[in-house]
Structure 1
Amino acid sequence: MALVPFGGLTAEATKPSDSAETAFVESLLARMTLEEKLGQLNQPPGIGNDTGPKAKAAGTEQVRKGQVGSFLGMQGVKLTCDMQRIAVKESRLGIPLLFGFDVIHGYRTVFPVPLGEAASFNPVAVEKAARVGAVEATAHGINWTYAPMVDVARDPRWGRVVEGSGEDTYLGEVMAVARVHGFQGKDLRAADSVLATAKHFVAYGGAEAGRDYNTVDISERTLREVYLPPFHAAVDAGVGSIMASFNEIAGVPMHANGPLINGVLRGEWGFDGVLVSDYTGVMELMNHRIAADPTEAGRRALEAGVDIDMVSDIYRKDMPKAVRAGKLPVATVDDAVRRVLRAKYRLGLFDNPYRNCDESLEKSQTLTADHRDAARTMARESMVLLKNKGNVLPLSKQVRTLAVIGPLADNPRAMLGSWAGMGRPEDVVTPLAGIRAAVGPETKVLYARGTDINTADTTGIAEAVRIAGQADAVLLMLGEAEDMSGEANNRTSLDLPGVQEQLALAVQKSGKPVAAVLFNGRPLSINSLQEQVPSILEAWFPGVEAGHALADVLFGDYNPAGRLPITFPRNVGQVPIYYAHKNTGRPPREEERYSSKYLDVSWKPLYAFGHGLSYTSFRYDALRLSRKKIPADGTLQVEVTVTNTGARAGDEVVQLYLRDDVASITRPVKQLRGFRRVHLQAGQSQTLTFTLTANDLSFYGADMKPIVEPGSFTVFAGGNSVDNLEAKFEVTAR
């Protein structure tokens, strides 16, 4: 279904006056020397308090000479504004600087990791999280963020799965729009807006073997139907910049992939923003062995449309000579410079280069009570109740003795996850602290670490078992360390690290009610926990308000409603596993030996995409279609009624899926085409309406052009990707 804007920026809002912008940029460009032009395309590492005097002096001198257009990783009002003053007052043309920083899921107020935020299925809350990140980042001198990551990822071995919105293209589109709007705000010139960056263009999440930076080998169909749409959604939302990915596609590294950058991104979609390299990505064209030296690497990157060279320093050092030798047209350089100057113009930096130079905001706009409240709300909305046999959860706050066990119970740094901005462990409310704060004074809380996160040492398990035996209920805090996911943090096993499973099963034998809480940046294979532990809650890495948000859920002050944005496999051998797969000529059947399955484990996932339980129950009824037949260019309204059949209020994530039953090209078994998170009181019913359009029905035909084919379609509606009501309709020829 068509993407709904969630408030905020439109593409037009980034362009206050196209004619005025063009006149300004062309006038400035005409006065620039070749070295100044290439300087705008150069992004060195930021100068910080820990930078040596010699390096700091060299960087400052480059700014004075107009040889720097932006800095990477530089933050803090004093540092950024001192450098901005040098650029504006002491360089020949006074062109202001961009200051880029990785504000991925918060700056100082750290929210749940993006994969966790996506589990909320709440784009409004996700947009607010990005807005808080922008407000705090700009208060510290930043005007450009390298987020959101919109890579679709279907291999949880890949460490960067934590940074995206999971396996589904449609969910990825919606979250991309929400985050772009949150970062860039309603007015890109506002002092609390940052230029957003959709990354990594493109198909970075398809890395072979789940190894970061690795080759991607996919068909054009998969590229266009799975990996490109979230980027297209970000462009339509007005995203100001896009970052190239490290991988190659079909033998062409993305930092030299003109057909995708200049062809699809700029030519087909009309993107006129900045294309920035990833860290040393231009230089790495030599490692890809498509460039023999820095000059060739720089030439190929610029010709492909890579505007800014992050850290490699090739554009500044090697391209002047290449241009003068006729190896690179100056017109190619000019096109890149125009895009950089446009970005600065749209941010309002030429009118007010010191828009982020109010030092008082560093304190007043950082880690505020409102920001922490937003982080707490986002964290509890992201938590997914995977299992709750016997209704172990929620716990009573009047429980007499509660045992909190596990290596993640009192680990503040882990709660922040990877890419935690400027988050500090001392800002974090740990699970143990949150639980202690939530229970009454009569409750005794016992604690044992049991084991470290990733160790073979079992000596602490006996103490954990001992205190479990003294308790009326047990909470296990298990999972990964913060540096076990994220960039370059790939795993060949999805099991709980170390001896944590051994700890959990030993504690479970105590016979007490046990609930396990998982903190992690990827799906884990937890078959033993699923079989033996009665209650399991997926908390991801929840951020600074981890403990309070977790206590809200554990004690029933908040009814969990998160849903899995990515499939949980039974073991790593099932990977890649995702709900929107294709059928085969021999679909898996238990009774059929020669069908597509395994000898040693079920082909089905441990937990499916969209799965998530509640402390209440919901029933779906009355799936109705507005028509049984529609033309290929028509629309269809789909209604479904959901009822809270339990005893307490709660949220349900109503999910709408679609299947093209027979097509000229094989299609997925179903695809998400809409969702709505709704709050229902006990006994309350609500009828929801979704609208399907030709865009939802279309796919790329044999000629790789979008087409809607006449024939039968099936609509599915329910609370996950498996348990659905069904209805059919027919598409007729126009």
Structure 2
Amino acid sequence: MISKYTKNIAALLAISLFCLIGCETPSSPTSETASSSAKDERVVELLKKMSVEDKVGQMTQITLSMLMKDNQLNIEELKNAIINKKVGSILNVNGVPLSLEEWHDLLTTIQDIATKETELQIPILYGIDAIHGTTYTKGSTLFPHNIGMGATRNPALVKASAKITAAETRASGIRWNFDPALGIARQPLWARYEEMYGEATVLSSVLGFEAIRGYEEDGLDQISAVASCMKHYLGYSVPLSGKDRTPAYIPDTQLREIFLPPFEAATLAGSSTVMINSGEINGIPVHGSKYYLTDILRGELGFEGLAVSDWEDIIRLHSRHRIAATPKEAVKIAVNAGVDMSMVPVDYSFFDLLVELVNDGEVPMSRIDEAVYRIVKLKFDLGLFENAYPEEEAIALFGKDAYKEVALNAALESITLLKNDDKTLPLKEGGKVLLMGPAANSKGALHGSWSYTWQGSDENQFPESTITIKQALENRIGAANVISNSTNDFEDPSNTDIAFLKQNAAKARVIILAIGEKSYAESPGGIHDLNLNDNQIMLAKAAYSTGKPVVLLLAQGRPRVISKIVDGADAIVNLYRPASQGAEATMQILYGDVNPSGVLPFSYPRYSGDVVLYDRKHTEEVTEFIPDSYGGGGYNPQWKFGHGLSYTTFTFGEIQLDKKSYTKSDEIKVTVEVSNTGDRAGKVAVDLFVSDLYASVTPSYKKLKKFTKISLEAGESKNVSFTLTADDLSFINAASEKTVEAGEFSVSVGDKKSNFELK
């Protein structure tokens, strides 16, 4: 059964692109329910003219590198792809970002062939991974990765960054963006953790909804919009082993309660496309499952757009998952299950095999027509048939100064102060600073995956305007006051040279260690252990031994375990992957220009083998290390979900409910007074949790249902109100049905809690 979200954020859809700070936004996605529309006659007429080969070609997507030779576009191979193999879609770059001019030249060449040298003149649909900004275009604006955006608790910032990404991607000439990622970050070993909004389902639902609206709401035929792609449907983010594209085992109750809702919200938001999970759930590859791709995605969620596989996934039904005895059978399974377009992407096997399957009657023409209708319809919607070429007028939307301000605000609101003993931060001006650590002079570590290159690790590809923490610190206090031997090679041993630290510690007033992870994307970012690398642990311990105040900056895409060095640090700041304005934002936080307001979008584990989530079951609250001793403390992270300190203090008043007893048709009004009891202005995230005290399926300890962020001057108080409905009290029962049961519930905000009854 599809969730019915209450229509309580209509005003949010009208938020200006530059509503960047202090925006108070409700936290439940809404939209008009997607409804079937009459067939587009333009598409219907075109389908009548298409041969089997024409149609299968439209379902075929290949990568650009397949069309390159000696780093130059191979025109003959391009013509073979488009004219002979009828290829309908191309993606990616050939390893390095392109300038706007290079993109325009490339896409013009491609569209010239498609629209002038083929009989049907169907334009090419070009797709790209603009994951946290326009990834593969020189000089584009990059924003914090989603895990940092989850820390902002600010939907308006997510929407604003998506609108900029849409504008800059469209200025490049590209109209299809493979974003947003809507998995739930509940497996911290996983290398794509940084691309998720957090471990709470509502974060992905609300923030993903806003990203899609940002990409698409101007209208797909407009120069400020791109087609979004909700991904990776479904259950991709929790591989049991922690390794990318490996099996997940998810009970149906969890699948529907935790992992499906963001895709419900994305469908309601109007996402044009969906990318399918490369992995498998309970032994069933998602890209080969009619149950997941047709029964649930189409039947239950009502999604009508284009479904594309991920990289090389269809052939892997044969070569890796081994549910197909031959490559041909793999194509048959995937297409019949509901995949519309195959990201093949390095050969024409899909085209050849699918033509055979159609001619042999093993894939019905009705399934082909259904898929091709969706593909061609999207091309019409994007205005490609009217003008297939890069739109010159879109160039004016690229690289505006205002975009940097959005990126800066996003970084500022994401950065999370985890520890601050004796008010070590903000730092005072004056004196020398000893700066060390592998992330101190690394652009890649601040950006992470999909940053001008796939891995985000090629320091030469970043714009000259991109600075490191070292450069930002030198800009702030003067190069003469920064003692550092850090290089831009994350693996350089000099970055963790303890001898250098000891030789120079006496000269410094404070030691800043920028530690964490190098940049990585997908499988190359796989790890076997959550613990931070030993060389960085040893560097921190050596710094503590000097007696100087030590500030740790964590540049990382996932929570690396640092329990061995937490106690010795005077202050700890989680930067996540703050991107293009991250270094400047870090300085503004460290020196108190801006009050930190980020809060953890995940539970930060204390031990590598003890990952318990915020919405744990009550039995996970129990520790029984001594038989028959039922102590608490089962949820024992280093820092709890939602933790984040400020340079001021906030208090929460008692929770006010409009009633103490409700029926399932009632709205539940929740109000809490939030006060700034400190001596400076600040922003505070307000999370509302719901607990079902007793249920027929073991209830979670609590679940995040609503959130917002407000600004308060010193001494100021504001009332924050939320509205809950029966849907917020629902769960998936043992029959995999959404249900609401009468009984006692509680709501909690901050350190306050209030109970009510549902009749």
Q: Is TM-score (shorter-chain normalized) higher than 0.5?
A: yes
How far apart in 2 are the matches of 1:653 and 1:570?
23
Aligned pair in 2 of structure 1 residues 619, 8: CA closer, same or farther (>3 Å)?
A: closer
Corresponding residue of 1:372: 404
The equivalent residue for 1:544 is: 580
Counterparts of 1:274-673 in structure 2 under 5 Å? Answer: 274-286=306-318, 287-312=320-345, 313-354=348-389, 356-358=390-392, 364-396=396-428, 398-421=429-452, 424-425=461-462, 426-439=464-477, 444-449=481-486, 453-454=490-491, 460-483=497-520, 486-575=522-611, 577-584=612-619, 587-589=621-623, 593-594=627-628, 603-673=635-705
Paired residues of 1:207 and 1:216 also in contact (CA < 8 A)? yes
| Equivalent-residue separation in structure 2 for 1:235 and 1:458 (angstroms) | 46
On the 8 A contact 1:66/1:91 being kept in 2, the answer is: no
Instruction: Please say if residues 41 and 69 of structure 1, whose CA atoms lie closer than 8 Å, have aligned partners that are also in contact.
Output: yes
Cα shift at 1:452: 7.0
Opposite residue 159 of structure 1, the aligned amino acid is A
Alignment of 1:210-225 (within 5 A): 210-225=242-257
The 1:191–1:18 alpha-carbon spacing in structure 2 relative to 1, beyond 3 Å, is: farther
- Matches of 1:168 and 1:315 in 2, distance apart? 38
Q: Is the 8 A contact 2:114 2:121 kept in 1?
A: yes
Alpha-carbon distance, 1:153 to partner = 2.2
d(CA) in 1 for partners of 2:34, 2:234: 24
Change (3 A) 1:11 1:195: farther
Unmatched runs of 5 consecutive residues or more in structure 2:
16-29, 135-139
Q: How does 1:129-148 map to 2 (within 5 A)?
A: 129-148=161-180
Task: State the TM-score, normalizing by the size of structure 2.
Answer: 0.90
| 8 A Cα contact 2:496 2:539, kept in partner | no
2:227 and 2:365 mapped to 1: Cα distance?
Answer: 27
Counterpart residue identity of residue 357, structure 2: A
The whole-number CA distance in structure 1 between the counterparts of 2:80 and 2:14 is 39
Alpha-carbon distance change, 596 to 465 in structure 1, aligned in 2, over 3 angstroms: farther
| Residue aligning to 2:109 | 82
Tell me by how many angstroms 1:650 deviates: 0.5
Cα distance in 2 between the residues matched to 1:54 and 1:644: 59
**Matched-pair contact (CA < 8 Å) for 1:519–1:540:** yes
Asked if structure 2 preserves the Cα contact closer than 8 Å seen for 1:640 and 1:688, the reply is yes
TM-score, length-scaled by structure 1: 0.93
Question: Which secondary structure does the structure 1 equivalent of 2:270 belong to?
Answer: coil
Question: Where do 5+ consecutive residues of structure 1 fail to align?
Answer: 719-723
User: SS of the counterpart of 2:173?
Assistant: coil
8 Å contact kept, 2:67–2:77: no
Sort the Cα spacing of 1:109 and 1:549 in 2 relative to 1 into closer, same or farther, 3 A. same
Residue 629 of structure 1 deviates from its aligned partner by 0.6
Moved over 6 A (4+): 8-15, 455-459
**Residue 67 (structure 1) aligns with:** 86
Residues in 2 aligned to 1:704 and 1:106: alpha-carbon distance in whole angstroms:
38
Structure 2: how far apart are the matches of 1:567 and 1:284?
Answer: 34
- Residues in 1 aligned to 2:586 and 2:106: alpha-carbon distance in whole angstroms: 37
Query: In the aligned structure 2, how far is the partner of 1:548 from the partner of 1:8?
Result: 30
C-alpha change, 1:230 and 1:54, in structure 2 (3 Å) is closer
1:19-65: CA deviations, max 9, x gaps? 4x521111111111000000110001126995357954222232134
Structure 1 contact 582–667 (Cα < 8 Å) conserved? yes
Letter in 2 for 1:369: D
SS in 2 for 1:419: coil
Q: Secondary structure at the match of 1:322?
A: helix
Contact 1:197/1:241 (8 A) holds in 2: yes
Question: Aligned partners of 1:385, 1:459: CA distance in 2, in Å?
Answer: 23
Give, in angstroms, the shift of residue 186 of structure 1.
Answer: 2.2
* Deviations 1:267-322 (CA, angstroms, capped at 9, x unpaired): 11111100000000111000211112121111111111100010253431111111
Mapped pair 1:29 → 2:61: no
Distance 1:48 1:703, change over 3 A: closer
Deviations 1:233-270 (A, max 9, x none): 11110001001111112322111111111111101111
Partner secondary structure for residue 685 of structure 2: strand
Q: Relative to 1, partners in 2 of residues 1:39 and 1:26: Cα closer, same or farther, differing over 3 Å?
A: same
Deviations 1:153-209 (A, max 9, x none): 211001111111121101110111111112223212112211111111110112111
Question: Which string of whole-angstrom CA distances, capped at 9 and with x for unpartnered residues, describes residues 310-348 of structure 1?
Answer: 025343111111111111111111111011111112212
Question: What residue identity is the alignment partner of 2:590?
Answer: L
How far is the alpha carbon of 1:587 from its aligned partner?
4.2
The match for 1:197 is 229
Judged with a 3 Å threshold, the aligned counterparts in structure 2 of structure 1 residues 503 and 96 are, in CA distance, closer, same or farther, namely same
Number of residue pairs the alignment of both structures matches: 715
Please give the secondary structure, in 1, of the residue aligned with 2:503.
helix
1:59-96 deviation line (CA, Å, top 9, x unaligned) = 22321346111101157111012211221122111111
Q: 1:121 to 1:505 in 2, by over 3 A?
A: same
CA distance in 2, matches of 1:341, 1:115: 34
Cα distance between partner residues in 1 of 2:628 and 2:553: 39
1:4 pairs with 2:26? no
- Structure 1 residues 665-708: Cα deviation after superposition (integer angstroms, max 9, x where no partner): 11110000111110100000000100000110111223222211
CA distance in 2, matches of 1:528, 1:276: 44
